[in-house]
Structure 1
Amino acid sequence: MKKFRIFFDIEKEEQWLNEQLHKGYYCTKVSGWGVYTFEKTLKNYVIRLDYRDHLSKEKFEEYKEIYEDFGWSCIKGPWMSGIRYWQKEDDGQNEIFSDRESKRCYYKRLMNYSFALLLLFLMLSYSTFRDSGLYMTQGLWSMKGSLFWKAFIFETPFALIRLFPPIMAILFGCSYYKTYQKYSLLKEE
């Protein structure tokens, strides 16, 4: 079974994946385009997600061995950086962040990830809108009648595409803020 979902919150993605596991569907593959592949299973599994910044191949192998020693298997996870998907049979010891400090470090990594993507999409937004507005057709707003409507309807899909970077910047800004709140709570206590 394949399902398509896009997430901007790693914790909501993890929650959704665990809901699928509770329904009896074992995750076998995660694509970068939001396609999740599941197989039916009778066993109880749990999945956890982790984000790591750049790791050398040696550090990645060490990181992977530590998880595998505790029964986790990696469904997806690039060795350089990105979100790692860890899955194992439910044995009651299902957390990968066992203490406050490791959880705090996890949120700090997520904050850096969200902030980097926020900056990227802000720069893309600036480059998209610095010379023109949302609609780029010259004289669009001075056109009359059916000529205006034809040009407006033709240009609208392109205008919506130009809105993508600012929308993504807002989403990653919200993600940064939520993660910062969680990080601050763990830092203060």
Structure 2
Amino acid sequence: MKKFKMFFDIEKEEQWLNEQLQKGYRCTNISGLGIYTFEKTDKRYVIRLDYQDILPKKKFKDYKGIYEDFGWIYINGPWLSGIRYWQKEDDGQNEIFSDRQSKSNYYKRLMNYSSGLGFMCLFFSYIIYKDSGLYLTEGLWSMKGEWFWKAFLFETPFALLRSLPALMVVLFAASFYKVYRKYSMLMEK
């Protein structure tokens, strides 16, 4: 079974994947385009997500080996995203972050991930809007009556598409803030 889904929040993605496991579908692959591949299973699994910067082959091999030593199975996902997918049979030892320090490091990596993608979208927004704005139809705002409405309605879907990077800035900023709050609460304990 294949499902298409897009996420801007790694924790919501993990929650959704675990919901699929509860329904009896184990994830076997994740493409960079948001296509998740599942297979039916009778066993109870749990999935956990981790974010790691792009690791050299040697460090990735060591990183992968540590998790595999504890029974986790690596699921192929989009390599450039930095999100790593780990799955194993539910045995009661289902957390990949065993202490406060590893959890706080995870939250720091997530904040860097969100802020990096947010700044990248902000840069694209600047490039898109700096000279032209959202509506590119020449003389649109000086048109009158029926011509204005036809041009305006024709251009609006394109304007909404051009506003997508700005919307993504807001989504990544919200994601950053959510993770920052969790990090702050963890550090206060």
* TM-score normalised by the chain length of structure 1: 0.95
CA distance in 1, matches of 2:72, 2:28: 13
1:15 positional shift: 0.7
CA contact (8 A) 2:32 2:78 kept: no
1:78 positional shift: 5.8
State how 1:1-189 maps to structure 2 within 5 Å.
Answer: 1-77=1-77, 82-189=82-189
Please provide the CA RMSD for this pair: 1.3
SS in 2 for 1:184: helix
Count of aligned pairs? 189
CA contact (8 A) 2:32 2:77 kept: no
Structure 2: stretches of 5+ with no match in the other structure: none
* TM-score normalised by the chain length of structure 2: 0.95
CA distance in 1, matches of 2:174, 2:50: 19
SS in 2 for 1:137: coil
Structure 1: stretches of 5+ with no match in the other structure: none
CA distance in 2, matches of 1:73, 1:79: 16
CA contact (8 A) 2:29 2:77 kept: no
Post-superposition CA distance 1:63-82 (Å, at most 9, x none): 00111111111112466760
1:98 positional shift: 0.7
CA contact (8 A) 1:135 1:159 kept: yes
Post-superposition CA distance 1:30-67 (Å, at most 9, x none): 11111111111100000000000131110000000111
CA contact (8 A) 1:24 1:41 kept: yes
CA distance in 2, matches of 1:13, 1:183: 19
Q: Percent identity?
A: 70
